Structure 1
Amino acid sequence: MPETSLAQVLRSRGLRMTPQRQLVLDAVRRLGHATPEQVHALVQQAADSVNITTVYRSLELLEQLGLVTHTHLSHGAPTYHPAEDHQHVHLVCRSCGAVADADPELLRPVAERLHTERGFQVDIAHIALFGRCADCEADQ
């Protein structure tokens, strides 16, 4: 899916384009999976006057606009990634913290069973599975 122009989306909603918003979106796209603090660190390399509050507000707006999405990969801050990325399940290594993507079809049978048996609709794109990655397993 092509990257959506932030300026186009903002204009269509009657909102103003700011360099800070573009920097935050660019940082999320560059980092892939990133916390607001990681986004802030990258944004500050280009514009050291941008504070963490601006990053949080920009991420919130970008999510409302459908350009980024978040998930919770731990007990800490949410992790943001571009919404144009394909839906995926997050695989989080408890040892090294690496995050990998897995095809959501892997969990489709579980989601369907929960829906059939309990009427529960699973949001597969917000699922994070925790374990140990292949590299950490090999180091054991």
Structure 2
Amino acid sequence: MPEEADWRAALREKGYRLTPQRELILGAVDALGHATPDEVLAHVQQTVSTINASTVYRTLEVLEELGLVRHAHLTDRAPTYHSTRGHVHFHLVCRGCGDVISVDEAEAAPFVAALAARGFVADLGHLTVHGRCARCEGATP
């Protein structure tokens, strides 16, 4: 996750402040890795019991607008949020065990190049590929 000063600068540029709630939610997303809004809420409520679900949802929307978090659809339920810190990645989700594997965007370079040749620019941060991991298929990774 970007340093707190970066959080403040990104928020301030859009007319927002780094409130204690926003800081807790950013910290929860960073700590959890990939988390639904309900998982973020549960994590934050371990520290502050007065925060509610609507605050978490609104804050995640603002933080995504500012580029501090992103969401992907890892299931057919709620979106899953993750930090923008580090590498741009896409997700592999195992239908057997439910593991989520983050894959660096460079591994999709041939696919992205093929799409670009068709005049399409891919947004890999939202890409999720469902299948079965080596462990669930009975092979060693």
- TM-score by length of structure 2 reads 0.87
Residue 88 of structure 1 and its aligned partner are, at CA, apart by 1.0
**Distance (Å, rounded) in 1 between the aligned partners of 2:65 and 2:104:** 25
Q: Indicate the RMSD between aligned Cα atoms, in angstroms.
A: 1.8
Which structure shows the bigger proportion of residues in helix conformation? 1
**Match of 2:133, as an amino acid?**
C
Query: Where does 1:1-140 land on structure 2 (aligned, <5 Å)?
Result: 3-5=2-4, 6-116=7-117, 118-138=118-138
Aligned partners of 1:108, 1:128: CA distance in 2, in Å? Answer: 15
Deviation for aligned residue 1:85: 2.5
Q: Deviations over 1:36-74 (max 9, x none)?
A: 111111011111111111000110111111111111112
3-state SS in 2 of match to 1:129: strand
**Normalised TM-score (structure 1):** 0.88
Deviation at 1:7, TM superposition (A): 2.9
Equivalent-residue separation in structure 2 for 1:78 and 1:55 (angstroms): 13
Q: Which runs of 5+ in 1 are unaligned?
A: none
What is the distance in 1 between the residues matched to 2:107 and 2:88? 12
Q: Distance in 1 between matches of 2:112 and 2:11?
A: 35
What is the total number of aligned residue pairs between the two structures?
137
- Cα distance in 1 for partners of 2:13, 2:122 equals 31
